[in-house]
Structure 1
Amino acid sequence: MKILIAYYSHSANTKKLAEIIAKVVKSELKNVTTDFFYTEPEKPYSSNYNKVLDEAKRDIKNNHKPKLKNSIDSIDDYDVIFIGSPNWWNTIASPVSSFINSFDFSNKIIMPFCTHGGGGAGTIRADIEKLTKSKQIGKILSVYGNTSSINNSENEIKKWIKDIKINVK
């Protein structure tokens, strides 16, 4: 089985969660290859907290899909795609929308995950389901976005991996 973990991370929390997910997936599922794709926007968001809030709000309100700095040719070889994002204004970050709009996910197994600052998963799972048009979407893994919560999320990830019942080909 080949897995892609695609994510956007502004403050490195979602990146760290993606890395832990990959570690757990490799230990829980046999014969798995895991690749990463970072949905980095060509024009980075501000490092200033208040400015990035304004930028994110503006992009989401305008349904802006920023051009990504990097790309992958195809998702055809992947059986399962984990899609991760911070919770930005109750939904996915705009770079994740850009990635999703680049491919046909309708026949892919999608596993959504997010980090948040207290807002939980918001509408992230429903938004990913709508954008990907996937009929096979797992429940969302939502982890509070601080270092301690993320570093202590392995057991929660193991449970999530078992709950999503990926059918190995």
Structure 2
Amino acid sequence: MKILKYLNYIISATLISLFAQMPSHAEGNNSVARQKKILVAYFSQPEDVALDGVDAVSGASLLKKNQQIFGATQYIAQLIGDELGADLYRIEPTRPYPRDHEPLVELASKEKGDGIRPAIQHPIPDLNQYDTVFVGYPIWWYQMPMILHTFLEENDFSGKKIIPFSTHGGSRLSGTVQAIQSLQPNANVETDAFSISRDDVAKNSTEDILVNWLNDISLE
């Protein structure tokens, strides 16, 4: 009888140990996905504008938040990176864009009209380590800046999740999600992309809106 009780004790202890080691499926998609590596790749071009020292002032592509200066798209990228524990990669041209508004607008128009693919300064991290890549950009002349075409044409995102996000001056996503799908047909491109006006980026509500969006989409 004592042997039987001892065997029952051993079996019960073993089962408890096995169940304790089993992964829980009660967590949401984002909690599971955060265990995987995520990359936030973004292009942000701040302009030289006057900020008057207020804690949250937005203008053109530049904003001041918590006594720090950010490009608008850069700020959103950093919020995503902080929320998800993701790696950040800034897409930068080998030849810097002008920071004055009019020359920048003229150059962006010329790049679009001539189909120019600006060279990128730093190589992207090894994509094999990432399952999900956020891609962020401002809207220039109703489309992605041409350097985003360089980025998407030079790298293979096959089998990965691409999640676009943009800052804009009124044109929202402007067909850029479809453009990314065309450039990366073998990737899973999120159609519920995030888009926010430059005038709203510095608002205190932006972080909550962004987090709600992250919780609503699938990161896989």
Q: Normalised by the size of structure 1, how large is the TM-score?
A: 0.87
Report SS of the residue matched to 2:120: coil
The structure 1 segments of at least 4 consecutive aligned residues displaced by more than 4 Å after TM superposition are 147-151
Q: Is the 8 A contact 1:110 1:134 kept in 2?
A: no
Distance 2:72 2:207 in 1: 14
Q: Which blocks of at least 5 consecutive residues in structure 1 are unaligned? A: 27-33
Which residue number in structure 1 is paired with residue 119 of structure 2? 67
**Matched residue count:** 160
**Which one has the largest radius of gyration?**
2
Distance 2:203 2:128 in 1: 30
Distance 2:166 2:39 in 1: 16
**Structure-2 change in CA distance of 1:123 and 1:68 (3 Å):** same
1:79-158 equivalence runs, <5 A? 79-138=131-190, 139-146=192-199, 148-149=201-202, 152-158=205-211
Report SS of the residue matched to 1:146: helix
Q: Is the 8 A contact 2:135 2:162 kept in 1?
A: yes
Instruction: Determine which structure has greater relative contact order: mean sequence separation of CA pairs < 8 Å that are 6+ residues apart, divided by chain length.
Output: 1
Select 2:106's aligned residue among 21, 32, 54: 54
Identity %: 28
Could you tell me how far 1:163 is from its partner in structure 2? 2.2
Report SS of the residue matched to 1:158: helix
Could you tell me how far 1:86 is from its partner in structure 2? 0.2
Report SS of the residue matched to 2:88: strand
Q: Which blocks of at least 5 consecutive residues in structure 2 are unaligned? A: 1-35, 47-70
Which residue number in structure 2 is paired with residue 31 of structure 1? none
For the aligned residue pairs, the C-alpha RMSD in angstroms reads 1.7
Is the aligned partner of 1:8 residue 2:43? Answer: yes
